[in-house]
Structure 1
Amino acid sequence: MLEQQLKQCLEALNPTYLEVVNESSGHGGYFPGKESHFKVVIVSEAFAGLRLVQRHQKIYAAVGDLLSPGKIHALAIHAFVAAEWQGQDTTSPECAHAPKA
């Protein structure tokens, strides 16, 4: 549910590539169905000429109240313009509080 809402909100930035990954299962306190931690990889010309913090602000504005308490707890953002996108590593680090296998 939150994952789909996040995708819909980010479509407003007219991405040429959009990947939303629910990483909740890799974090402490996870239970099946929990949606709290996401990673976004987005390529859009809407970021042209913007510094990293400005790109993040644009994304925060697009997702609105999905980042409010009780919804998305953490959002990892990888925001690029097309010329920057090739070969970028968007791998997420392991969470120190991840459930042990």
Structure 2
Amino acid sequence: MAEHLTGPVAQEIAQRLHAALAPESLRVIDDSEQHRGHAGHDSRGESHFTVEIVAGRFHGMNRVARQRAVNAALADLLKDRIHALAIKARAPGE
């Protein structure tokens, strides 16, 4: 299970998603540098992320339900620390 972690926010994202969704595969990618100078960029870094997650719990869930599950696990981070989150959520075998 390779994870592309950078700083403490990325690590917190990974910990929360492991606890909530028990993924088989998880990548947390910090895209913040690509947004330097744009609205929502945080000078502390770690404000824009992509999450690629494969979890058995996603079986039978549509795309919106999967994104809601990820968002629920990260709710307070999305409110206070993460400006943008791209989610690529799949069930195993997809």
| TM-score category (smaller protein) | 0.7 to 0.9
Are 1:65 and 2:65 matched, yes or no? no
Letter in 1 for 2:31: E
Q: Provide the rounded CA distance (Å) in 1 between the counterparts of 2:64 and 2:74.
A: 15
Give the TM-score taking structure 2 as reference length: 0.82
Q: Which runs of 5+ in 2 are unaligned?
A: 1-7
Equivalent residue of 2:93, what SS? helix
Give the TM-score taking structure 1 as reference length: 0.76
Equivalent residue of 1:55, what SS? helix
- Residue 32 of structure 1 deviates from its aligned partner by 6.8
Are 1:55 and 2:66 matched, yes or no? yes
Tell me which residue corresponds to 2:92: 82
Q: How many residues align?
A: 83
Equivalent residue of 1:83, what SS? coil
Equivalent residue of 1:3, what SS? helix
Q: Provide the rounded CA distance (Å) in 2 between the counterparts of 1:15 and 1:49.
A: 15
**Which structure is richer in relative contact order (CA contacts within 8 A, separation 6 or more)?**
1
Q: Which runs of 4+ in 1 moved over 6 A?
A: none
Tell me which residue corresponds to 1:46: 57
Q: Would you say the 8 A contact 1:25–1:31 is kept in 2?
A: no
Q: Provide the rounded CA distance (Å) in 1 between the counterparts of 2:54 and 2:42.
A: 31
The CA deviation string for residues 44-95 of structure 1, in whole angstroms up to 9 with x for no partner, is 01101001000001001111201013x00000000001111xxxxxxxxxxx
Tell me which residue corresponds to 2:11: 4
